[in-house]
Structure 1
Amino acid sequence: MTSVIFDPDARAEFLDAVRYYEERQRGLGRRFRGAVETAVSLVVANPVLYRLLRAPFRRYLLPKFPYSIIYSIEPDYIYVIALAHTKRKPGYWLKRSSGSGEKD
């Protein structure tokens, strides 16, 4: 099974969104977390299926939530560079791309 590595900023975006949704409605944060986990599983199962944005980055649009998972396919893992809100600051994550795929 291919592993998935989240950029630290992407992990922070994910946790912030979970908290935000849970504060709005009890259980909604949990549903968001589940949607992201399902999306990551789908990406791992077939990473080339989803839209190429700017090489090497691809995008998976989450159903029912205004977020997309931006990732690259690395030789040994999937690198999630952003969990991006689809209505805010398009392309902001590109400044992170210089460090993509590098493990700490």
Structure 2
Amino acid sequence: MNKSMKIRFFPSAEAELQDAVNYFNSQCEGLGFEFAAEIQRTIERIISNPEAWTKLSVYCHRCRTKRFPHAVIYYIENNLLFVVSIMHMKREPNSWRTYLPPHKQ
């Protein structure tokens, strides 16, 4: 694992993560925290091997979670992991593209 890699969440990804945690906790107490832990494990897998996951564009990759129907959309630049979206796999699959800066689209 590249422990020196820093992680930056786009505001969209932060909001998606918080919304999902709140939703899952409303369904079953503690489930949202399990979801957050699963996202953390997914990010650790990405850091371990950032090029291993499905390429969605020239810059972005998708790494699916193991337990939930979600994926982390990300790109790497200058030893920074940019988390673009915490995307539900059944909803608007290309919505993450609107979050990217123009030079990354």
Instruction: Point out where structure 2 has 5 or more consecutive residues left out of the alignment.
Output: none
Partner of 1:58: 61
The answer to whether 1:88 aligns with 2:85 is no
TM-score by length of 1: 0.91
| Identical aligned residues as a percent | 29
Deviations 1:56-78 (A, max 9, x none): 00000011101100000111201
Deviation at 1:29, TM superposition (A): 0.7
Instruction: Point out where structure 1 has 5 or more consecutive residues left out of the alignment.
Output: none
Name the CA distance, whole Å, in 1 between partners of 2:71 and 2:17: 11
Count of residue pairs the alignment pairs up? 101
Name the CA distance, whole Å, in 1 between partners of 2:103 and 2:23: 27
Correspondent of 2:34 among 10, 31, 35: 31
Instruction: Give the aligned CA root-mean-square deviation in angstroms.
Output: 1.4
TM-score by length of 2: 0.90
Partner of 1:45: 48
Name the CA distance, whole Å, in 2 between partners of 1:31 and 1:10: 17
Deviations 1:7-52 (A, max 9, x none): 0010010011001000100111111011001111111121111111
The residue identity in structure 2 corresponding to 1:85 is H
SS at match of 1:64: coil
Question: Do the aligned partners of 1:79 and 1:100 also contact (CA within 8 Å) in 2?
Answer: no
